[in-house]
Amino acid sequence: MLWRFGYFRPHFAKSSLLIRWLWKLNSEPNSTWTTTVQALYGTTDLSLLLNTDFLSHDLRDILKFLPFYSTSIDSTRGNHALSWRWTNSGCYTSASAYALLANPGIRSPYFGKIWKLKAPPKVKIFLWLLLQDGLLTQQNLLVRNWPANDECPCCLARPFETACHLFLHCPFATALWNRIRHFYLLPPLILTDDLPEFWLRNSLVIGTVWDIIWAATSWTIWKERNSRIFNSLTRPQFLLVQEISTLVEFWKKLA
Answer yes or no: do 82 and 130 share one domain. Answer: no
Mean pLDDT, residues 138-143 taken together: 82
Confidence (pLDDT) at 79 = 59
- pLDDT above 60: residue 45: yes
CB 228 within 8 A of CB 221: no
Answer yes or no: do 168 and 95 share one domain. Answer: no
Confidence (pLDDT) at 236 = 96
**Among residues 101, 126, 160, which one ends one of the domains?**
101
Answer yes or no: do 183 and 163 share one domain. Answer: yes
Residue 191 belongs to some domain of the structure: yes
Model confidence band, residue 109 (pLDDT cutoffs 50, 70, 90):
low
Model confidence band, residue 8 (pLDDT cutoffs 50, 70, 90):
very low
Percent of the chain residues past pLDDT 70, beyond the cut: 84
Q: Dihedral sign, CA of 21, 91, 212, 182?
A: negative
Confidence (pLDDT) at 1 = 31
Range of the domain at 97: 2-101
Answer yes or no: do 148 and 81 share one domain. Answer: no
**Among residues 35, 66, 101, which one ends one of the domains?**
101
Residue 73 belongs to some domain of the structure: yes
**Among residues 83, 101, 119, which one ends one of the domains?**
101
Bridge partners, residue 81, by sequence: 72
Q: Render pLDDT for 11-40 as a digit per residue (tens, 0 to 9).
A: 566 777 888 888 888 888 888 989 999 999
Which tops the pLDDT comparison, 69 or 225?
A: 225
Answer yes or no: do 59 and 156 share one domain. Answer: no
Phi/psi at 135 (nearest 5 deg)? -75, 150
Which tops the pLDDT comparison, 150 or 236?
A: 236
Model confidence band, residue 234 (pLDDT cutoffs 50, 70, 90):
very high
Answer yes or no: do 230 and 154 share one domain. Answer: yes
- Would the pTM of this model clear 0.75, i.e. be above it? no
The overall average pLDDT reported for the chain is 82
Answer yes or no: do 35 and 117 share one domain. Answer: no
Q: Render pLDDT for 168-197 as a digit per residue (tens, 0 to 9).
A: 999 999 999 999 999 999 999 998 888 988
Amino acid at 110: Y
What is the distance between the alpha carbons of residues 55 and 40, in angstroms, rounded to a whole number? 9
